Amino acid sequence: MDCLFCKIVSGDIPCEKVYENAEVMAFRDLNPQAPHHILIIPKQHLSTLNDFGAEHVATFGAMGLAAKEIAQSLEVDEQGYRVVLNCNADGGQTVFHTHMHFMAGRAFSWPPG
Ligand code: 5GP
Ligand code: ZN
């Protein structure tokens, strides 16, 4: 399958990995929008959040838990951080292997653009 993030999971494309377990992997975004900008992805190819079913609840939970653990390891858990998941065109998704953006190290505004 011609998927950029599957190639990162398999090691065919290099990345700056910050976290990994059986379900998920996390690596630094190539075009960071914050001092810490990390993408948390399921190792399994799921194109968008719309592809998640009841059988993926543990995978999605693992992504959330990874965000918390990354925040703790970067020592930004108390000051705060933002987690964003873009889905399809209106959500602004450009890479079609589901990923959570983890961003920290500056204050973010709300609502997003
Ligand atoms: P999306 O717009 O789909 O929510 O986010 C895709 C993200 O993937 C963007 O923030 C973009 O900078 C990042 N990205 C695209 N290609 C690569 C790559 O080859 N390596 C890494 N580490 N990040 C990438
Ligand atoms: Zn993929």
The pLDDT, as a whole number, for residue 74 is 98
Overall average pLDDT of the 67-84 stretch: 98
Nearest ligand for residue 42 CA:
2
Instruction: Tell me the domains of the chain and their CATH numbers.
Output: 4-104 (3.30.428.10)
pLDDT digits 0-9 by tens, 16-71? 999 999 999 999 999 999 999 999 999 999 999 999 999 999 999 999 999 999 99
Task: Answer yes or no: is the C-beta of 92 below 6 A from any ligand 1 atom.
Answer: yes
Overall average pLDDT of the 3-24 stretch: 98
The Cβ of residue 51 has, within 10 Å, a number of other Cβ atoms equal to: 14
Q: Does residue 99 have an active-site annotation?
A: yes
Residues 6+ away with beta carbon under 8 Å from 49: 85, 87, 98
The pLDDT, as a whole number, for residue 113 is 85
Overall average pLDDT of the 93-112 stretch: 97
Ligand 2 centroid to Cα of residue 59, in Å, is 14
The pLDDT, as a whole number, for residue 1 is 77
- Look up the pTM and report it: 0.98
- What is the percent of the chain where pLDDT is above 70? 100
Task: Answer yes or no: is the C-beta of 15 below 6 A from any ligand 1 atom.
Answer: yes
